[in-house]
Amino acid sequence: MNKFNSFLAEHGTKIIIVLLVLVYFKSCSTNSDVDRVKKDLRATEVKIDSLKSVIITNEEMKELINTTPAWNTLRIEEMSDKERISINAIKAREVGYDK
């Protein structure tokens, strides 16, 4: 314990100064991190605000669902499962080629 006390008596102030410098540099980098996060948050808010202006009405959504090929395929698959008819038969019936 004597060696430890003598070491602190000789080098204690140097250790405290080094620790204070490290804490100071850490606090500086934290501020820049906060600034970067704020900048990213502002950019995200701008994107969100621009998306709020795009509103689709019910009629537009129905039109989109009816004309989108993926939705049509999903609807046809659902009908074929429900009615136990092949997908080709449903497509032919919609086009007008009744068998």
Query: If pLDDT is split at 50, 70 and 90, which confidence band does 98 have?
Result: low
Whether 2 and 50 share a structural domain: yes
Q: Which domain holds residue 35?
A: 1-54
The predicted structure's pLDDT at residue 87: 66
The predicted structure's pLDDT at residue 39: 92
Amino acid at 65: I
The predicted structure's pLDDT at residue 25: 82
Query: If pLDDT is split at 50, 70 and 90, which confidence band does 97 have?
Result: low
Whether 12 and 48 share a structural domain: yes
pLDDT tens-digit map of 34-83 = 888 899 999 999 888 877 777 788 888 888 877 777 766 777 777 777 77
Whether 79 and 96 share a structural domain: yes
CA distance readout (Å), 22 to 10, 18, 26, 69: 21, 6, 6, 61
Whether 11 and 31 share a structural domain: yes
Count of domains for the chain: 2
Q: What is the mean pLDDT of residues 80-96?
A: 70
Last residue of a domain, one of 33, 54, 75: 54
The predicted structure's pLDDT at residue 40: 92
Whether 16 and 35 share a structural domain: yes
C-alpha span between 68 and 54 (Å, rounded): 19
Q: Each residue of 26-39: b (16+ CB within 10 Å) or e?
A: eeeeeeeeeeeeee
Query: If pLDDT is split at 50, 70 and 90, which confidence band does 96 have?
Result: low
